[in-house]
Amino acid sequence: MSKQDMIWNRLPQTWYEAPFMGNGSMGTYICKEPGKNAIRIDVNNSLVHDHRKDDKSIYGRCRLLIGYFLLQPVGEISSGTMRLDLWNAETRSCIRTASGEIRLKAYVTSESPYIIVEAEATEGEKDFRWQFYPESTDSPRQLNAIRKKSKNHLKKDYVSNPPSQLYERNGLDYCWQPLLNGGGTATVWKEMRKGNKRILVISNAHSFPEMNALQKAETALTNLQIADLPALRQAHQDWWHAYYPQSFISLPDKKIENFYWVQIYKLASATRIGGGLLDNSGPWQVLTPWPNAWWNLNVQLSYWPVYTSNRLELGMPIVDVVNDNFENLINNVPEAYRKDAAALPVATDFNLVGTDIRVPGSKPFAQVGNLPWLCHNLWLQYRYSMDETILRNVIFPTLRRAINFYIPFLEKDEQGILHLKETYSPEYGNTKDCNYDIALLRWGCETLLETCRILSIDDDLCLTWQHIVDNLTNYPQNENGIMIGKDVPYSHSHRHFSHLLMFYPLYLLNAEQQGSKELLEKSIEHWHSMPDNILGFSYTGASLLYAAFGEGNKALEKLNGLFALTLRPNTMYMESGPVIETPLSGAQCVHDMLLQSWGKKIRVFPAVPSQWKNIQFKDLRTEGAFLVSAVRKEGKTINIQIKSLAGEPCTLQTDMKNPIVKIGNATLTTKGENEYTLDLKKGETVTITTQTDAIFAISPVDGEGQNFFGLQ
């Protein structure tokens, strides 16, 4: 893992250059403060939100900034180095000044609410100072608009939250940030000393409507002694040392391998059970027009890597947020539809509260597909775990209501074909038979029918769902491929690939259907032929689409487009504000080149670029709850190991010629060309090979270079 660390040989000065740390809710990053002789240690918490009762907009229910510390040295900063140690999830730094050096070690404890910064200074810098600067607790979107003088994003009737309160009591320092409608955010800190070490320990808590955040943060620090810190650090490291081995990937392209492992680190830094959602910023909020959870692409993409990487616990926050806020989803639709429908606005707070959904066919910007798309992520959580409690208690009731919201707006033509009234294709425009919605509606009806079969549910709407599946209009298309919708071609540059969801991630049109590949390639080429607004996730989206059809070279080419044009030094991504989903979806691109499992079939090395001759991976997870490991040498697959966690039927697709079972009791039966079935029982493992003398072992593969990210 040391080869994957990010290294800075010069000091970063921005969010998108800096080393970042987090424990799923609390987060920090470290950089030199631009224009000042100081090092910034940011304090953030993704659970800190505004909760305005009368303002459900992205201004009234948004994420909020907290504040930051400045480490102010005695002498002028001349240079510095930093290293983000992924294995231990901590940043080490040496700050050089005209008066000496300050060595820092910083981490956000994994299982307790602390940001800890250890500082060790030479004699000339022993009198450096820490100082906390609270940020404004107004909407970051409002503050960003004021800074940029953007009238489009400025809310004229916005009322500010009360000012922050700073004080000291009983050896602790406090910052209390109250909110207009009650509750607030507390940041409490103290400095401990041991020899020439000075250790800053920060805790943070948020509460609403209760006012007990101060008590929570104070309690966390009051009895904490310097003798407790080694145990905290050890528990922190133990958590990360258990996290990484859940799966393993090694590639000959060491830059992409390095990028991949940083994303795996980033995932666990940004989201945990009981922590925050992976919204646009994660726990590293800055001034941005996007201080909320965005549901027309962003959250869904962010969570894609958790499934194949065998880190399903990181996917549970979106299961829990739907389960815990089901009534809010119902209240998001107009009152006339609340009896049997639910929906998700484009942007919400972490309780899924947003402005009301507009009714299709009556108003512009009726964006209905966000909740069905979120349900697809929930479906992946079920399919990769085979946990039927998720299917019964969360997916079925949520997806049922999401699809019900479409039904009143379907119209039948003279041939009996069902058409959808005008809805909104994300960030593009209004159209009838919007492909974004047609694809999600079809997938939703098919999934509800399958769920009823799995759970033996006799639902009154089964006939309706089947009627929609049988009679729903085909996806509007023209000579350039898939259109936005009926009578609305793709005619201007657009970053979203929402009009192509039927290919990925839904696989309604897929590589096993005649003509689908040609339609896909034509659609992607036309989409990317207008480059003005082809941005970060346009590249990862195209990579995933190509990988779904086995086009490994094209998938890699598009992923490299992200690296060449938009990826920042610390693997973050930024447009007009931070949007964390793009690099995370890049990790999913790697997964889909190595392993796919749509259509109840395990595909090993389905879209490997031709230059990737040697690859090894261990314990990647598939639909049906299988753990798969594989070795590829000199362009050929030589070993595959499969473990069944749920006893589901197992079908394998591989390029192996005449494979045999070397280890295990399962029978390998030929089903078709390069396709086999295995009668694996729950808990059983089988190793398949083409060589009777092959030894199955997973180890790193050779490649050139290491530590590609940071500032060299």
Confidence grade of residue 694 (pLDDT, cut at 50, 70, 90): low
405 and 529 together in one domain: yes
pLDDT higher than threshold 80 for residue 35: yes
Mean pLDDT of 223-244: 96
CA atoms within 13 A on the CB side of 665: 4
Domain boundary pick from 483, 513, 534: 534
Residue 448 domain-assigned (yes or no): yes
Q: How many other C-beta atoms lie within 10 A of the C-beta of residue 193?
A: 9
**Angstrom distance (rounded) from CA 307 to CA 623:** 9
Domain boundary pick from 534, 558, 591: 534
181 and 326 together in one domain: no
357 and 216 together in one domain: no
Residues 227-230: contacts with CB within 8 Å, 24+ apart? 229/116, 229/192, 229/199, 229/201
Kind of pairing, strands 418-420 and 423-425?
A: unpaired
Among 640, 695, 632, CA closest to 252: 632
Residue 588 · residue 580 · CB < 8 Å: no
* CATH number of domain containing 202: 2.70.98.50
380 and 507 together in one domain: yes
E-strand ranges in 170-230 read: 172-178, 184-194, 197-207
Domain boundary pick from 513, 534, 555: 534
pLDDT of 273 reads: 93
Residues 100-104: contacts with CB within 8 Å, 24+ apart? 100/74, 100/75, 100/124, 100/125, 101/125, 102/39, 102/71, 102/73, 102/128, 104/30, 104/39, 104/71
* CATH number of domain containing 351: 1.50.10.10
**Angstrom distance (rounded) from CA 271 to CA 303:** 9
Mean pLDDT of 665-671: 93
Residue of 102 and 355 predicted with greater confidence:
102
Confidence grade of residue 509 (pLDDT, cut at 50, 70, 90): very high
Number of structural domains in the chain: 2
Residue for token digits 């060299």? Answer: 712
Kind of pairing, strands 100-108 and 90-97?
A: antiparallel
pLDDT higher than threshold 70 for residue 230: yes
Provide the total of helices (H) and of strands (E) in the chain, helices listed first.
17, 34
208 and 332 together in one domain: no
Mean pLDDT of 591-619: 98
**Angstrom distance (rounded) from CA 318 to CA 376:** 11
**Angstrom distance (rounded) from CA 105 to CA 20:** 13
Residue 586 domain-assigned (yes or no): no
Kind of pairing, strands 675-678 and 668-672?
A: antiparallel
Which pair of tokens denotes residue 585? 């979806």
**Angstrom distance (rounded) from CA 490 to CA 511:** 23
Residue for token digits 């995932």? Answer: 267
pLDDT higher than threshold 90 for residue 52: yes
pLDDT in tens, 171-222: 999 999 999 999 999 999 999 998 889 999 999 999 999 999 999 999 999 9
Query: What is the per-residue DSSP string for 475-489?
Result: PPEETTEE-SBBTB-
7 and 139 together in one domain: yes
Residue 290 · residue 70 · CB < 8 Å: no
Residue for token digits 């009726």? Answer: 366
Query: What is the per-residue DSSP string for 273-292?
Result: TTS----SSTT---S-S--S
Residue for token digits 């079809």? Answer: 442
Residue 660 domain-assigned (yes or no): no
**Angstrom distance (rounded) from CA 676 to CA 626:** 15
Among 580, 585, 706, 566, CA closest to 6: 706
pLDDT in tens, 67-100: 999 999 999 999 999 999 999 999 999 999 999 9
**Angstrom distance (rounded) from CA 330 to CA 328:** 5
Residues 406-411: contacts with CB within 8 Å, 24+ apart? 406/360, 406/368, 406/437, 406/441, 406/444, 407/464, 407/468, 408/337, 409/359, 409/360, 409/361, 410/468
Mean pLDDT of 511-526: 97
Among 555, 479, 469, 474, CA closest to 519: 479
φ, ψ dihedrals at 659, nearest 5°: -70, 155
Q: What letter would DSSP give residue 309?
A: T
Which pair of tokens denotes residue 342? 């639910």
Which pair of tokens denotes residue 562? 């992200």
**Angstrom distance (rounded) from CA 452 to CA 397:** 11
Residue 419 domain-assigned (yes or no): yes
40-67 in b/e burial notation, b at 16+ Cβ within 10 A?
Answer: bbbbbbbbbbbbbeebbbbbbbbbbbbb
71 and 214 together in one domain: yes
**Angstrom distance (rounded) from CA 694 to CA 443:** 42
12 and 96 together in one domain: yes
CA atoms within 13 A on the CB side of 525: 9
Among 336, 386, 385, CA closest to 362: 336
pLDDT higher than threshold 90 for residue 150: no
pLDDT of 314 reads: 97
**Angstrom distance (rounded) from CA 401 to CA 190:** 50
User: Which of 70-74, 552-556, 692-696 shows the lowest per-residue confidence on average (mean pLDDT)?
Assistant: 692-696
Residue 13 domain-assigned (yes or no): yes
383 and 502 together in one domain: yes
- 320's CB contacts (< 8 A; 6+ apart) are 273
Which pair of tokens denotes residue 105? 């070690």
Residue for token digits 């240690």? Answer: 41
In this prediction the pTM is 0.97
**Angstrom distance (rounded) from CA 202 to CA 199:** 10
Q: How many other C-beta atoms lie within 10 A of the C-beta of residue 199?
A: 17
327 and 191 together in one domain: no
pLDDT in tens, 351-365: 999 987 999 998 789
349 and 231 together in one domain: no
User: Which of 194-208, 311-325, 372-386, 562-576 shows the lowest per-residue confidence on average (mean pLDDT)?
Assistant: 562-576
Task: Tell me whether the omega of the peptide bond preceding residue 19 falls within 30 degrees of 0, making it cis.
Answer: no
Report the alpha-carbon angle 457-458-464, nearest 5.
115
Give me the domain span that covers residue 425. 317-534
pLDDT higher than threshold 90 for residue 148: no
Kind of pairing, strands 90-97 and 77-85?
A: antiparallel
Residue 192 · residue 201 · CB < 8 Å: yes
Q: Is the dihedral of CA 582, 586, 589, 594 positive or negative?
A: negative
pLDDT in tens, 154-169: 999 999 999 999 999 9
Among residues of the chain, what percentage have pLDDT more than 70? 100
Residue 593 domain-assigned (yes or no): no
Residue 128 domain-assigned (yes or no): yes
Among 395, 355, 389, CA closest to 375: 395
Residue 156 domain-assigned (yes or no): yes
195 and 339 together in one domain: no
